[in-house]
Amino acid sequence: MKNRVVTWTLAASALGVGFGWAASAYAADTVKIGLIMAYSGPFADTANQMQAGIDLWLAEHNGEVAGKKVELIKKDTGGPSPDVAKRLAQELVVRDGVDIIAGFTLTPEALGAADVATQAKKFMVVMNAATSVVTEKSPYIARTSLTIPQVNYAFGKWAVEKGGVKQAYTLVADYGPGHDAESSFAKGFKEAGGTVVGADASPVANPDFSAFVQRIKDANPEAVYIFIPGGAQPPAIGKALAERGLTPPKTKLFGQGELTLPEALESMGDTAKGIVTTFHYTMERDDPLNNAFVKAYRDANKNRSPDLFSIGGYDGMHLIDAALKKTNGDTDGDKLIEAAKGMAWDSPRGPVSIDPETRDIIQTVWIREVKEVDGKLQNVVIDSIPNVKDPLHGAAK
């Protein structure tokens, strides 16, 4: 019943708004992009960095995609709430008449908006929301960020085969992405012959890690694998580990890249040396495209460095631009998603492409180690695994 009402509302408004909008939009040669993100609340920093990535791309391209002026309409979800995201997506489609919906800092936002994209047949670009299942929720979704299993499954194998570790203890944040990370790392790790000697989940908003770290110390494993959201937690856990003497090279520390973001490294200091992380984007990687991107980003953002959210937004804009060029500016959702499938380009993060089957991103997974370079701690790339697909999409079929 509810669905039918939505459909009718959308259909009716598409008729009503559609004509007026089509005339004005094409005549004025603008493309309206609706952005749904958590601009306020505890995840506001994520949205800020992503917006800065989007803005940088636009600034570098005269504010145009495929020769048309871009009009951004920003909607704030305030946090991980699917119902708000759905309502905002409806508003964007019905009231603002957007051509494309994009953004999505958090998985619940993307899941909430997916139905609207399907019903309204709008191209939807997910620029972060890293849970595997997101792209399966609507045939109009393409993703330009990463999936957590993508970077962690390959990393689990790498830890045994090249990292030389046989047993590990895992500690992850107790929420969807944390469980995804734990299971995919453990899967890769076990398949390559390693054993997981213990697994704990810490509360998502965890002010103090000392108890969990003590449990790890009691188990005395060869290595520890950690997944926690960025922000206050990486330095907190880094310091708690250092207080117990759980630091490389004695105990190897593995994690996803959030663990060693620049702010965390600054706060952890020398104890961070030797931590090995897996990520799809390494800000410090020496590559002409990346160096130019980092420099331009810092110039535009008071010297703040880009991170995974920035690159997700930046590449998301590239995908929109490239897909629109392929359709000659036609913003029809079916045509745009067809154009996006198989699209490949060189991003500052390395070579990427959109998987024609899953509409998810295929990219290089970088393995990095924290080292001191010119007196500053940095993530130095020590290995790479090219063309990694999300391992879960295949498994679901």
Partner 1 sequence: MVGQVAVILFDGFAFGMLLFVLSVGLSVTLGLMNFTNLAHCAFGMLGGYVTVVLIRSMGVPFLWTLPAAFLAAAVVAVVLERSIFRLLYRAGELNQVLATIGIVFVAAASAAYIFGTGQLPIQLPAFLRGSFEYGGQRFGLYRAFLSAVAVCVAALLVLGLEHTRFGARVRAAVDNQRVAQGLGIDVDKVFAVTFALGCGLAGLGGALAIEIVGLDPSFGFHYLVYVLIVVAVGGLGSIGGSFIAAALLGIADVAGKYLVPGLGSFLIYLILVAVLFVRPQGLFGRR
Q: Which residues bind partner 1 (CB under 8 A)?
A: 41-42, 44-45, 48, 174, 200-203, 205-208, 210-212, 214-215, 218, 231-233, 235-236, 239, 242-245, 263-264, 266-267, 269, 304
Q: Look at residue 21 and give its three-state secondary structure.
A: helix
Residues 6 or more apart from 280 whose CB is under 8 A from it? 145, 146, 150, 151, 257, 308, 349, 363, 364, 365, 366
Which of 228, 317 has the CB closer to partner 1? 228
Q: What is the DSSP letter of 244?
A: T
Which of 243, 383 has the CB closer to partner 1? 243
Which of 79, 139 has the CB closer to partner 1? 79
Which of 93, 264 has the CB closer to partner 1? 264
**Shortest Cβ 227–partner 1 spacing (Å):** 15
Q: How many CA atoms lie within 13 A of 134 on its CB side?
A: 35
Name the pairing type of β-strands 361-373 and 350-354.
Answer: antiparallel
CB 237 within 8 A of CB 226: yes
Give dist(CA 30, CA 62) in Å, integer. Answer: 13
Which of 140, 212 has the CB closer to partner 1? 212
Which of 207, 288 has the CB closer to partner 1? 207
**Shortest Cβ 69–partner 1 spacing (Å):** 29
**Shortest Cβ 266–partner 1 spacing (Å):** 5
Which of 191, 266 has the CB closer to partner 1? 266
CB 129 within 8 A of CB 20: no
**Shortest Cβ 42–partner 1 spacing (Å):** 5
Which of 55, 390 has the CB closer to partner 1? 55
**Shortest Cβ 253–partner 1 spacing (Å):** 17
**Shortest Cβ 267–partner 1 spacing (Å):** 3
**Shortest Cβ 268–partner 1 spacing (Å):** 8
Determine the Cα angle at 352 with ends 389 and 329, to 5°: 120
The string of DSSP codes covering 132-186 is: GGGGGG-TTEEE-S--HHHHHHHHHHHHHHTT---EEEEEEESSHHHHHHHHHHH
**Shortest Cβ 22–partner 1 spacing (Å):** 38
- Residue whose entry in the numeric block shows the structure tokens 């051509």: 99
**Shortest Cβ 123–partner 1 spacing (Å):** 29
Give dist(CA 191, CA 187) in Å, integer. Answer: 6
Give dist(CA 160, CA 285) in Å, integer. Answer: 24
Which of 39, 158 has the CB closer to partner 1? 39
Residues 6 or more apart from 27 whose CB is under 8 A from it? none
**Shortest Cβ 256–partner 1 spacing (Å):** 17
37 burial via Cβ count (<10 Å: 0-12, 13-18, 19+): buried
User: What are the residue ranges of helices labelled H in the chain?
Assistant: 2-28, 44-60, 82-94, 107-120, 148-161, 176-191, 210-219, 233-243, 262-268, 288-300, 308-326, 333-340, 391-396
Which of 93, 172 has the CB closer to partner 1? 172
The span from the first CA to the last CA of the chain, in angstroms, equals: 30
